[in-house]
Amino acid sequence: MKSQGLKGKVALVAGATRGAGRGIAVQLGAAGATVYVTGRTTRSQRSEMNRPETIEETAGLVDEAGGRGIAVRVDHLVPAEVRALVARIEAEQGRLHVLVNDIFGATRIEWGKSVWDSDLDYGLRSLRLAVDTHAITSHFAIPLLIKTPGGLVVEVNDGTAEYNGSNYRNSFFYDLAKAAVLRMGFSLGHELKPHGATAVSLTPGWLRSEAMLEAFGVTESNWRDATKRVPGFAISESPAFVGRAVAALAQDPDVSRWNGQSLSSGQLAKIYGFTDLDGSRPDAWRYMTEVQDAGKPADVTGYR
């Protein structure tokens, strides 16, 4: 029987249409939570991502997992829409225990582009999608969250503070966006501590999102076939893995020990004992440092 340690708890996963956000919402549901799932793609309308996944699908998966999923279309760049979302949560639930900021929605990454080579309009748009959305959502949602002691805010990112602090992340604008989200976890930790709440930044490893699986021509059931072409893909993880990390944090009575810190799914799996869907514990960021970036042959032995 699944643990229902979050039964009676209310969560908002902002940016839950697909990928890590969907995985987090479903695992919070599996722990019994009521989860508001937001995004811009619904059954009747797609975002600029132009992908088929919808927030209604995510809400349905939350229900199937054992929680209650509530889909709300929200553009997190529009303050009025976020304000209305939080007002609805307060009216319907009266409280908010977990806020997950997983919003991004950029349509591409300009790999290796300097600031002067980048498409400026797109670069600035990607910063708004990655940074402004998180700030706007926190502005409106945290006042409700801190009404109940013990609240948790999770800033979902790509990369740990240690890794990003010494590695250039893909392009000027992407690097800048990820640095900002890391700092948000730290800053919010400082601001939430007096209110008995906790904030962290959390990164998955190489995520087998819907788009990633599609790009490699595989599904979650046969994803290992892709390692024949890209051996390093063996360290990848499902969205459920980072979802289980968030669910573990949300159920930890001592979660404040992590306040303001940068965490990874692989790191937390060792501490909380959860696994990925296949029973393994991929530690992607340690692997990237010790194997991939060190130029060693791809071998995940000891890393999952």
Tens digit of pLDDT for each residue in 164-197? 999 999 999 999 999 999 999 999 999 999 999 9
| pLDDT for 49 | 85
| pLDDT for 70 | 98
Tens digit of pLDDT for each residue in 90-111? 999 999 999 999 999 888 888 8
42 phi/psi in degrees, rounded to 5: -120, 180
Which of 122, 163, 168, 174 is the catalytic position? 174
Q: What mean pLDDT is reported for the chain? A: 96
Closest CA to 155 of 31, 273, 14, 40: 14
* 17: DSSP letter: S
Q: Which run of H or of E encompasses 37?
A: strand 34-39
| pLDDT for 1 | 43
Q: In the predicted model, is pLDDT for residue 144 greater than 50?
A: yes
Query: Which numeric CATH code is attached to 10-292?
Result: 3.40.50.720
| pLDDT for 4 | 86
Q: What whole-number distance in Å separates Cα of residue 140 and Cα of residue 136?
A: 7
Is 174 labeled as catalytic in the residue annotation?
yes
Residue 294, judged by CB atoms within 10 A of its CB (0-12, 13-18, 19+), counts as exposed
First to last CA, the chain: 25
7 phi/psi in degrees, rounded to 5: -60, 130
Any idea where the domains of the chain sit in the sequence? 10-292
Q: What whole-number distance in Å separates Cα of residue 304 and Cα of residue 288?
A: 12
Tens digit of pLDDT for each residue in 259-293? 999 999 999 999 999 999 999 999 999 999 999 99
Q: What whole-number distance in Å separates Cα of residue 128 and Cα of residue 134?
A: 9
Beta-carbon count within 10 A of 220 CB: 13
| pLDDT for 2 | 63
